[in-house]
Amino acid sequence: MTARRPGKDNLHVLINHQPMKAKRVIAGKSSRFAAQLFNIASVAAITAGITALMLGKLLASHKIGFLPFVLSFPPLMIWLAASIFVYASIAHHPNERTRLYHRWAGYRFYGATGAMVVVGQPIYGLLGGWNGLAAVWALLFFIIVPPGLYAIWKAAREDWQDMTIEVAINE
């Protein structure tokens, strides 16, 4: 048997094959929510962490002084892990303004948490125990929450229009 080579006509079809495309509409509300999502979750995680810190301080006795520390970090760590997926899913959104809000929310959150890896331990050691932990959380709060709330408010006040994009259809 000989291998069959594509004829001249078949080769032309293979070279000029264009994928079929369908038009999809992205609602303005969807773009706005995508722009706000990272900020909403970051504010919620920091607020939940501080709430757990305060609750731990109220419940802790001198015998279990590590309770505020143990209670305060799970919300932050869970959001840190989940934020990677949220960031990746919205990073290539077709709406440029959505990407801009999203990018700045990521800069704030990842920059603040990364900086706390470097300077958090010296602050904690310098101020000692509860005061050091409260100072680290206060820094995170003031870096992430007020600008995040402002970005959520600002995105809500913008006029978000529906977008029509073309998406390749896989056969």
Residue range(s) defining the domain that contains residue 104: 23-159
The total of structural domains in the chain comes to 1
Look at residue 8 and tell me if it is in a domain.
no
Look at residue 15 and tell me if it is in a domain.
no
Query: Which is more confident, 113 or 131?
Result: 113
How much is the pLDDT for 57?
A: 78
Give 36-94 pLDDT, tens digit per residue: 999 999 999 999 999 888 887 777 666 566 677 777 788 889 999 999 999 999 988 88
CA distance 105 to 26: 22
Cα–Cα distances (Å) from 47 to 7, 16, 37, 118, in that order, read 67, 55, 15, 22
Look at residue 129 and tell me if it is in a domain.
yes
Q: How confident is the model at residue 4 (pLDDT cuts 50, 70, 90)?
A: low
Torsion sign, CA atoms 10, 14, 15, 16: positive
Look at residue 11 and tell me if it is in a domain.
no
Look at residue 119 and tell me if it is in a domain.
yes
How much is the pLDDT for 27?
A: 87
DSSP 62: S
Look at residue 3 and tell me if it is in a domain.
no
Look at residue 117 and tell me if it is in a domain.
yes
Look at residue 60 and tell me if it is in a domain.
yes
Strand partners, 25: 164
